[in-house]
Chains A and B, each alone.
Chain A
Amino acid sequence: MNNSSPKTMYEKLWQNHLVEEAKGETPLLYVDRHLIHEVTSPQAFANLRFHNRPVRHPERTIATMDHNISTRSIKIDAAGEGAANQLRALAINCKDFGIELFDMGHKNQGIAHVIGPELGLTLPGTIIVCGDSHTATHGAFGALAFGIGTSEVEHVFATQTLRQNKAKTMKIEVKGNVGAGISAKDIILAIIGKTGSAGATGYVVEYCGEAVEALSMEERMTVCNMSIEFGAKAGLIAPDQTTFDYIEGKEYSPKGDVFAQAVADWKNLKSDTDAVFDAVITLEAKDIKAQVTWGTNPGQVISVDGIVPSPEDFSDPVEKDSCINALKYMDLTAGTKMTDIQVNKVFIGSCTNSRIEDLRAAAGVVQKYEGQKVVANVDAIIVPGSYRVKEQAESEGLDKIFIDAGFEWRLPGCSMCLGMNDDVLEEGDRCASTSNRNFEGRQGRGSRTHLVSPEMAAAAAITGHFVDLNA
């Protein structure tokens, strides 16, 4: 491609980070920011030690404790010995290799994809990686951000670069404006429902259109977060004034003249008008309704005013089979109204929906039910994404609203999103969850997950079932 031809944002990010494209080798890209946590880093550090290699740019790496930690106590061993081992190993590794760590109870601690943005570590025009597939979250800022494996974590440690083959590009345009009460979670679930859970494998996706531009940074993060759930390598949203305003003044963001120069550069990142994408998908925002998943992958999703589908609804044999298996695992009968499905657990949290706006939205729904409490047979927990979110929520009195209504107000962490700590579902539990994966066993062996927005999760806690809040 010559330099003057129109480019997509992905191509610009790629070009700006291309260290070398040697013949016969996978292109080498520069990595600006590396986020690490306790679960996917220990073996990478072990290999560095084995080869006697340093971390090349410890200042470009930030560590947090999130996956494994207890949400009831800040004690390092509160979630068991296995977890404590990994957490201690992270602390030792960070100390030995000179990496800044937000450890248990630190004011900046939280889920990697929540703290990166809120601390100003996540910047447009950068490449951000983390040994976690929801790294795509940071694409909300116009950063090329994606999850990597432990061998790649080691490669980034040692070289501050990564080898990546170029992905194809997909544009997803959401035209017009969403109706009242429709959240960012509903938008992304509707997109995945349309593409299927592998619809963007091999692509980097750019979200655009009026409905996307209208989103706040928190909402954009919810959208980009779930890019991996339809197979995309990364998700991007062009940075604009909303983005710059969010970043300005954050703890780690550039200041003064450097910030001004950065904004000037960031304004050039957006895809050129005539840029050509390998695939284009369009949705009408006004058609998007509140979404609830019924199956065992995020593509198995339907509007809350719909019914559980039947295998007969699918012509593709693989999808038909998946539907049969999913209905069996989820213990659902085709034709059941989504609003008739009863839950006994509610989880509001995860890097998809644990930011301050998510908690405000959930609290708003709780308040609408004036004085009603979480129904007797439901356990509902709220897990803020970070200590900063927790503190902000408490300063606004949101914790009181939740606690008064019978929710448990927990300490930050990944928690029941993956259940590596003791926040796990029991066999047969049915959970309304604001997380991002409804895979078999994800939240606990034999447990059933329905992915929803924070608003829907709050309503399900109070009523015991899914509710069409906009009816």
Chain B
Amino acid sequence: MEKFNTHTGLVVPLDVANVDTDQIIPKQFLQKTERVGFGVHLFHDSRYLDHAGTQINPDFVINKSEYKEASILLAGENFGCGSSREHAPWALQEYGFKVIIASSFADIFYGNCINVGLLPIKLSEAEVEQLFKLAPDAQLTLTVDLPNNVVTCGELSFKFSLSEFQQYSLENGVDSVGWTLDKLDTIKAFEEKMPAWQ
């Protein structure tokens, strides 16, 4: 996993609540055995007018030319609800997003983002609303500083937090499997004490 330190990028506002992972990456694109090839299908049903994905929907915010370079997604509440598919953060990442900001995330999606190195930032509803007001015309650019847990834009700054280990893992690009494998003795000791039925 790549290390995350700071990131400065353009914000695209997707002001819809309860965007589920079926919308982020519909099921017909899950038939792959690799981790790549999902970015072009991100938000497929909204992004394209036709089922085949050949006609761009010009009204969908992400398709607008002024947001072409966006790397920070500002989203509505309960973002990423529904299916546990990690293909959703893979698609967002491959499209070019580094950070997702919302007032709330679905639990599984949030964990999946951390595990792939896509930074999910929870801000208060009022803060998210303030950003939504700034984003449309202002061509809002934000700087996300993970080590200091702060998002800034000119004079404005918003604090955010992650759990200690999540923060450490993202900053250091930890191989979480390798990390746990170093504790194999502890796991084995636990297994020895388990009851027979377990």
Contact = CB atoms under 8 A, between A and B. Distances in A.
A65 interface: no
B141 interface: no
Interface stretch (A22-30, A355-363, A376-384, A405-413): A22-30
A321 B108 CA distance: 25
Contact of B181 (A46, A125, A159): A159
B196 interface: yes
A20 interface: yes
Contact of B108 (A83, A89, A149): A149
Contacts of A159: 177, 180-181, 184, 187
B112 A149 contact: yes
A161 B30 contact: no
B107 interface: yes
Contact of A148 (B89, B108, B165): B108
Interface string B80-124: 011111110100000000000000101110011001100000000
A148 B180 contact: no
B155 interface: no
Interface stretch (A181-189, A342-350, A438-446): A438-446
Contacts of A42: 32-34
A152 B85 CA distance: 11
Interface in B46-92: 51, 76-78, 81-87, 89
A86 B31 contact: yes
B86 A198 contact: no
Interface residues of B, number: 57
A198 B116 contact: no
Contacts of B30: 39, 420
Given A24-B168, A151-B116, A152-B115, A201 B107 contact: yes
A86 B116 CA distance: 22
Contacts of B194: 30
A192 to B, nearest CB: 12
Contacts of B166: 26
B23 A440 contact: yes
A259 interface: yes
Contact of A30 (B27, B31, B187): B187
Interface stretch (B4-12, B14-22, B146-154): B14-22
A336 B138 CA distance: 42
B198 to A, nearest CB: 6
Contacts of A325: 16
B34 A132 contact: no
Contact of A198 (B16, B104, B108): B104
A419 B23 contact: no
A167 to B, nearest CB: 8
A452 B84 CA distance: 23
A140 B109 CA distance: 23
A201 B22 contact: no
A123 B197 contact: yes
Contacts of B87: 150
A166 to B, nearest CB: 10
B177 A51 contact: yes
Interface string A228-253: 10010100000000000000000000
Contacts of A163: 165, 176, 180
B186 interface: yes
Contacts of A445: 26, 45, 51
B137 interface: no
A226 B121 CA distance: 27
A333 interface: no
B32 to A, nearest CB: 8
A423 to B, nearest CB: 11
Contacts of A152: 111-112, 115
A331 interface: no
Contacts of A322: 17-18
A180 interface: no
B163 interface: yes
Contact of A85 (B31, B77, B89, B195): B31
Given A32-B198, A149-B112, A418 B176 contact: no
Contacts of B104: 198, 201
A53 B180 CA distance: 13
B17 A158 contact: no
Interface string A186-211: 00000000000110011000000000
Interface of A: 19-20, 24-26, 28, 30, 32, 39-40, 42-43, 46-47, 51, 53, 68, 80, 82-83, 85-86, 89, 123, 125-126, 131-133, 146-152, 154-155, 158-161, 163, 165, 167, 197-198, 201-202, 228, 231, 233, 254, 258-259, 261-262, 265, 297, 318, 321-322, 325, 418-420, 437, 439-442, 445
6 contacts: A39-B30, A43-B86, A158-B180, A198-B81, A437-B83, A441-B45
Given A30-B187, A133-B83, 17 more contacts: A19-B183, A19-B190, A26-B165, A30-B194, A39-B85, A40-B85, A51-B177, A83-B31, A85-B31, A165-B163, A201-B107, A228-B82, A254-B196, A318-B77, A325-B16, A419-B27, A445-B45
